[in-house]
Chains A and B, each alone.
Chain A
Amino acid sequence: MMPLIAVLALAAGTYAFRLAGPALRHRLRLPGRLRHLLSVAATVLLVALVATSALTEGHGFAGWARPAGVLVAGILTLRKVPFPLIVVLAAATTAVLRLLGLP
């Protein structure tokens, strides 16, 4: 069961995380070097999110089909294929591999 109070707690905490940066950025007066490091941190987090959501499910391996689809997306991105095709072909790769019996 998921009571409303739990949904509200998750929403409030999430909003606090989101608002802290835009609200406190000026008051903290971050030095240029730290600001650069924060933008690097954002990219590092996004790449880690790609890696974990491509390779893992729960605490285990996600199977081969999903990372294969994401790999196709990476190759197509480097070849400057239009964005719509990238996403469709990534999902299609994963779907076809599963159809062929790959987990």
Chain B
Amino acid sequence: MHSLWRTLDRGTLRDIALVCLADAMVGAAFGAIAVSGGLPAWVPVVMSLLVFAGGAQFAAIGVVLSGGAPVAAVAAGLVLNARLLPFGFAVGDVLGDRWRTRLTGAHLMTDEAVAFVLRDGDPRRRHAAFWACGLGLFVSWNAAVVLGALAGRGIADTAALGLDAAFPAVLLALVLPSLTVRNLRNAALRRASVAGAAVAVTATPFLPAGLPVLLALTGLVLAARTPAAAGPGVS
């Protein structure tokens, strides 16, 4: 742990801390929403410890609270989490070759940790950022879910506080800087991202939760081709 703090600069550590704080607010909301919807407190708490994926947890709880079957809740959560599969291949190198670290580290893989890893090219800093973000989020997320579940109805109105904007804002702030560096490779990456996002949003009304985000991968066609053709790049 000591070398972890030394490897990361203060800016990155501060960013990780803030992501933990922002996600803690979302986690508290998750616990509160689940309990005030009528579920026993152990459901959001155990689910957060074992599933540890905010989006899928909200999706699963949402299905159940709206009267859906548990099987449908599991399916929705799994489809939503299928993106972790390509994430694992993209950043799996940070978990090294030892099985013990792979088995523990895999559970800590989240959108946020992946975004921090992708932000950096240096293997040591990638490794440190993954573990700092992974461990920090695991502790803060689960603690917040417990607090939220205990508080119950009291803080269920997260919409009034604008907390639903926090998750996309956090991710955007993490991803955007790497997209805006101007070079040929990035031009293709931007085209693929914009096209993929457009496909995902367009598909959302018609497909079950989670599938639209996976459909964004069709945007990769634009990244595989040579960057000569004009595309709707964001500059």
Contact = CB atoms under 8 A, between A and B. Distances in A.
A78 B176 CA distance: 8
Interface residues of B, number: 95
Nearest to B42: A4
Given A45-B86, A56-B201, A56-B204, A15 B172 contact: no
A27 B118 CA distance: 23
A4 B44 CA distance: 11
Given A69-B162, A69-B169, A10 B201 contact: no
Given A10-B47, A25-B93, A87-B18, A17 B85 contact: yes
B36 interface: no
Given A43-B175, A43-B179, A73-B173, A65 B162 contact: yes
Contacts of A3: 70
Interface string A39-76: 11111111111111111101110100110011011101
Contacts, number: 271
Contacts of B103: 19
A78 B173 CA distance: 9
A73 B53 CA distance: 23
A56 to B, nearest CB: 5
A2 B43 contact: yes
A21 B114 CA distance: 13
A101 interface: no
B88 A19 contact: yes
Contact of B201 (A42, A55, A58, A95): A55
Give the one of B86, B172, B209 with max A CB within 10 A. Answer: B172
B77 A10 contact: yes
Contacts of B1: none
Nearest to A90: B169
B60 A2 contact: yes
A22 B216 contact: no
Contacts of B201: 51-52, 55-56
B172 A50 contact: yes
A29 interface: no
A60 B70 CA distance: 23
29 contacts: A6-B71, A13-B81, A14-B51, A14-B52, A17-B85, A17-B88, A18-B107, A19-B88, A21-B85, A21-B86, A21-B89, A23-B102, A43-B178, A44-B219, A46-B171, A48-B213, A50-B171, A52-B200, A66-B162, A69-B162, A82-B14, A83-B15, A86-B169, A87-B18, A90-B169, A91-B165, A94-B165, A98-B159, A99-B160
Across the A-B interface, give the 7 residue pairs with the lowest CB-CB distance, nearest first.
A21-B88, A94-B162, A48-B216, A95-B162, A69-B165, A90-B169, A11-B50
Given A42-B90, A47-B175, A87-B173, 14 more contacts: A11-B50, A14-B51, A14-B78, A20-B88, A25-B89, A39-B91, A41-B220, A42-B87, A43-B189, A44-B192, A69-B165, A78-B176, A82-B14, A87-B169
